[in-house]
Structure 1
């Protein structure tokens, strides 16, 4: 997968900008605030149809403009592909592939495989379980359409069940048969989601551990574990057992929407006991494992975006990461950094062609 050109119109701080990329390494350098991360986010937008950093679409439009357009020309499996994401205030966002509009955004997910590593990833450690579930879902969904559809359907039914619980509370009523219909559907979708997540993590965790050891020189013992209520019981039983609690709370308190990942270093939560460098190494290993998994599943080498990668890492860890990407397993890289000289010194070590964009 190669991104050949990128055109931005009214996207974030860019009024109009065109880029022509090297097929291996592309670096965006400049002071904070010049838009280095925004270029990476535009590339992410082409893959996922949304921003990685700001989910509010209107806030991705440049200042007082009415619309934005992100236009990318790709080469995938020796075929030219053109992806355009556009949005106009008051209208729906549009994604087009080779001039044809998608019926559903979900049809586009996975077509442009991409992994981003960014300081914002720290949310995976410090935020709640929702952030970590989204990570699992994002990795699996890029190569498994059935999983993505099950997830969409599960969330739809969950929303309907929650609305029903609120209706019961507001009207001081309850109908066991109606709630049973939703329980059955949640059980069916939830069972499949749980099975897929479990199988995914059995494959993913060894890859992740191997990546972490390569970055840290085998110096630290880390664990990644899948936490789910469905390990101990089926979802239908859980929903039936918790129906009184759900009535009182007015939302569904059990299910795969409560799943989580636990991150530990030396048998302690990395959130509390990991240094900044260890946490960053953990996150980079997580994302490189995501890269490996997606590549193995899809047969396509994902784009790799490294945003401010050198921040909070000592030189040895940076060198380990650079050594990892200095082989044919990786395809096209996009790097942002505030220090032009540091970036150039690092990419020279990789022995690949590169291009530096000073913003």
Structure 2
């Protein structure tokens, strides 16, 4: 998948902008706060219909305007042109059209335009709560597996119904029995697919970490799930904790409480990792995510690299540059405040590229 052209209207700090991109490498240069990350977030909106920055749609629309429009032209790996038009309206349903046909459900779009992003916000994957790591699993699997996406949607729908009844103290035992059985029916699908993914993912992740770090540390991942202890019988466990859930007003056990433990030398990295180790861990996760998604999705993902060289020593920066340049990562979008990093990238790779300067929400292509 290649993004050929992007036109933005009233998106965040950008009043209007039109960019034509290289099918290989596209670099955005500018000081912090000038709008570089906004460009990458626009691409994230087009793939996932929401921001990577966990902001509301209200903040995605330029102050004082009623809506934002993202108009994009892509070329698929099969050679057919694809057009996306996304309109974001605060307080209203987003409108997304593919080749002028509007989606009935936005969830139907997930995976059609695959994308992987590495950004400073992703540190929460390592340092934050388990919800961030579940989101990582869910986003990856939803892009590569429509069955998983459907099961996840159903799980959250039933979970929301159960939580609403518990919160409002309207949960009769008979109704909860039905909802618990519905959760039990869909949970094994999610559990099995998560387990399969992690098993395939770990060796890829470890390989990238070794290449970037120079083999200095040992890393791994461990999937911790409620279903592992219940052998799939989550309805029985839900009945056991039902009275506690009534008091709490929400569902306290289930796949929505699972975790993907991230380990450095057999210790949780959030407890022992340095800034450089955390950054290397994160980049390795995302590169492995990209590789696995490339193998399972009909379209090669677009790769977004937002300020990835910060907090890394020169050796690790050099390894990342050689690693990305030596493999086919498809179309890449990079932001950095350091022109030298980007010059080293594009000249070292010797590939087709475009440079853009971003300042106060304005984007200008830099002649080569």
What TM-score, normalized to structure 1? Answer: 0.96
Q: Give 2:288's aligned residue.
A: 289
Deviation at 1:118, TM superposition (A): 0.4
Deviates more, 1:185-194 or 1:241-250: 241-250
Query: Is 1:157 the counterpart of 2:154 in the alignment?
Result: no
Counting only pairs closer than 5 Å after superposition, residues 39-188 of structure 1 correspond to structure 2 as 39-76=39-76, 77-168=78-169, 175-188=172-185
Where 1:19 maps in the other structure, the secondary structure is strand
Does residue 228 (structure 1) correspond to residue 244 (structure 2)? The answer is no
Q: How far is the alpha carbon of 1:300 from its aligned partner?
A: 2.2
**Could you list the runs of 5+ residues in structure 1 that have no partner in the other structure?**
none
**Corresponding pairs, count:** 355
Q: For residues 57-96 of structure 1, give each alpha carbon's deviation from its aligned partner in whole angstroms, at most 9, with x where no partner exists.
A: 0111111111101111100020100111112344321111
Q: Which runs of 5+ in 2 are unaligned?
A: 359-368
**Counterpart of 1:260?**
259
Q: Contact 1:291–1:302 (CA<8 Å) still a contact in 2?
A: yes
The 8 Å contact of residues 57 and 89 in structure 2, kept in 1 or not, is answered as no
Matches of 1:218 and 1:69 in 2, distance apart? 46
Structure-2 residue corresponding to 1:9: 9
CA RMSD of aligned residues (A): 1.3
Task: Give the structure 1 partner of residue 304 of structure 2.
Answer: 305
Q: Deviation per CA, 1:92-130, whole angstroms, max 9, x where unpaired? A: 211110111000111110111110000111011121111
Residues 1:190 and 2:191 are matched in the alignment: no
Residue in structure 1 matched with residue 236 of structure 2 by the alignment = 237
Q: Which residue of 1 aligns with 2:320?
A: 321
Distance 1:90 1:106 in 2: 19
Distance 2:305 2:13 in 1: 20
Write the deviation string for residues 227-262 of structure 1: whole angstroms up to 9, x where unpaired.
Answer: 111111121221122122212222111110000011
Moved more, 316-325 or 19-28: 316-325
- Distance across 1 between alignment mates of 2:216 and 2:300: 29
Is the partner of 1:71 in helix, strand or coil?
strand
In 1, Cα distance between equivalents of 2:90 and 2:155? 30
CA contact (8 A) 1:44 1:50 kept: yes
| 1:262-303 Cα distance to aligned partner (Å, 9 max, x none) | 111111111121010000000000000110111000132210
Q: Please give the alpha-carbon distance, in whole angstroms, between the structure 2 residues aligned to 1:118 and 1:32.
A: 13
Cα contact 2:57–2:90 (8 A) shared by 1: no
3-state SS of paired residue (1:22): coil
1:280 aligns with 2:282: no
Name the SS of the counterpart of 2:330 in structure 1: coil
Instruction: State how far apart, in whole Å, the 2-side matches of 1:202 and 1:269 are.
Output: 19
- Tell me, in whole angstroms, the C-alpha distance in 2 between the residues paired with 1:68 and 1:255: 38
Stretches (4+) displaced over 4 A: none
Q: Deviations 1:28-50 (Å, cap 9, x if unpaired)?
A: 00111211111111111111111
Cα pair 1:262 1:269 within 8 Å, conserved: yes
Matches for 1:332-351 after TM superposition, within 5 Å: 332-351=331-350
Range with bigger deviation, 294-303 or 243-252: 243-252
Tell me by how many angstroms 1:175 deviates: 3.0
